[in-house]
Chain A
């Protein structure tokens, strides 16, 4: 098909989310008797697979494949499935704009600028790293300062080592993984400084990326000075108080040629904003219902564009759900618009949920609600309230901001009830 004017379903982004959405949409169309599903994946990079291509460490797919794969291997399995199904995709094609009426404007070298009309759209654009400007680090801006993700790309894809003596600010997973990676390549990682009193990274990464190589992790520390005119020559870090203000007299200077910033990720939502999609200010991603549909009918979202995930298995699962519902939308239209609506709200330590709205008529037998907590809590309970009635009371030895939590709501729990609000909160009393 070389005519790019119309498709049933357009998927924006060919990372793990876009791939899983495309595959499950295809299978849904097929199950409904559609001979050749009309699906198009648009990816701006020159290969499919998204961020996984640069994540060459292992630890992907434990849930999905019951084995530990590296990022490119995990992506490879989904790319194979996409190709087996002959699902159409365009590479090096950047989506520039989408509208509420589901018109997608994209650009590439071959077709130039073109606009395609879709019955449904799945947003799967992933996320980007928080920029240094937003972090407010004082001092010069010499060469040798990289985001951890940029360094990862340089080392693992371009085969270029950005430096030999490294300080890392932020203990997110990418920073931890890069601490190990650069050490293995012969660099000296002197310290990882983390502003918060806990690490945002997975425990496993702290043990296997830092402890294995005796790299110190300094919690409640931040960078207060960067020295060097042309290139970084040293970085000074200091302890912070409980208001996150540096404590005078605690400064320590580390000579180094490289500073990596691993300060978190934010969903990539310029396109969503352009289409007037309602956003959740906590996740910086769209608000979605049980079908992963945004508040613009026919536009769905999944993966890191929706909320930042640390496990790709959950991305694939969520995206599969989004793809299936997007295909259903193409087949049936917006049937359930008039049914009951339950708002999902949070309290007491729970920062956000995905989804934020449930239409019981549209949910399957069970729905996974994912959420994150705002702090580390030990010996607490995860509580789910249907209006004023407590339905779930589940003990958790520990919950932490770095690890996504979930509860499963079964359809039978909702049956015969007129619920307005489903509230998820922590009960800390016994902790």
Chain B
């Protein structure tokens, strides 16, 4: 069964509307892009879309109640919800520095969750 997926390319302000016809893991056609970047973007978006997740976790004993975190690398889009669930449950002790690893393998993606801001002890 073929399915039709509509995307907006984010490669440049033109924002081409791209249509992808996909059958399982097979791309049958990509149309609507203006340049190669759009073609490649559509391909990854359809087959293996990834996003960097940024959020905050609670800090104990810090100046601020929360500190910013991010996944060190982009993770599969389908894992965002699981990743957020794990993030809700994390609490760290101050001080926290940019780059501190807060979780080695977030949502079973093999990607680390790291602090992306600093917080001092109160």
Interface residues of A (CB under 8 A from B): 53, 56-58, 68, 70, 72-73, 76, 155-160, 181, 184-185, 203-204, 206-208, 211-212, 378, 397-400, 402-403
Contact with A along B40-78 (1 / 0, CB 8 A): 000000000001111110100000111010100000010
Query: What residue in chain B is nearest A398 (Cβ atoms)?
Result: B14
| Cβ–Cβ < 8 Å partners of B80 in chain A | 184
| Cβ–Cβ < 8 Å partners of A400 in chain B | 13
Partner of A158, one of B7, B53, B64: B64
- Which residues 1-58 in B have Cβ within 8 Å of A in the complex? 7-8, 10, 12-15, 34, 51-56, 58
| Cβ–Cβ < 8 Å partners of B118 in chain A | 72, 76
Partner of A159, one of B65, B84, B116: B65
| Cβ–Cβ < 8 Å partners of A158 in chain B | 64-66
CB of A219, distance to nearest CB on chain B (Å): 13
Contact with A along B104-119 (1 / 0, CB 8 A): 0000000000001110
CB of A20, distance to nearest CB on chain B (Å): 19
| Bound-state Cα–Cα, A158 to B66, Å | 7
B98 interface contact, C-beta 8 A:
yes
Taking A70-B116, A208-B51 as contacts, is the C-beta distance between A203 and B98 under 8 angstroms?
A: no
Q: A56-B54, A156-B56, A159-B64 are in contact. List 10 more A-B contacts (CB 8 A).
A: A56-B70, A58-B52, A68-B52, A76-B117, A156-B66, A158-B64, A184-B55, A204-B10, A398-B15, A399-B13
Taking A56-B68, A70-B70 as contacts, is the C-beta distance between A207 and B52 under 8 angstroms?
A: no
The total of chain B residues at the interface (CB under 8 A) is: 27
Taking A56-B117, A72-B117 as contacts, is the C-beta distance between A398 and B13 under 8 angstroms?
A: yes
Which of B7, B8, B56, B80 has the largest count of A CB atoms less than 10 A from its CB? Answer: B56
Taking A68-B52, A76-B98, A397-B34 as contacts, is the C-beta distance between A203 and B66 under 8 angstroms?
A: no
Taking A208-B51, A212-B51 as contacts, is the C-beta distance between A159 and B15 under 8 angstroms?
A: no
| Cβ–Cβ < 8 Å partners of A76 in chain B | 98, 117-118
| Bound-state Cα–Cα, A159 to B62, Å | 12
| Cβ–Cβ < 8 Å partners of B70 in chain A | 56, 58, 70
CB of B101, distance to nearest CB on chain A (Å): 15
| Cβ–Cβ < 8 Å partners of A399 in chain B | 13
Whether B117 and A53, one on each chain, are in contact in the complex, defined by CB atoms closer than 8 angstroms, is yes
| Bound-state Cα–Cα, A73 to B52, Å | 14
Closest 5 pairs between A and B when the two form their complex, measured CB to CB: A159-B66, A72-B117, A56-B68, A159-B65, A204-B10
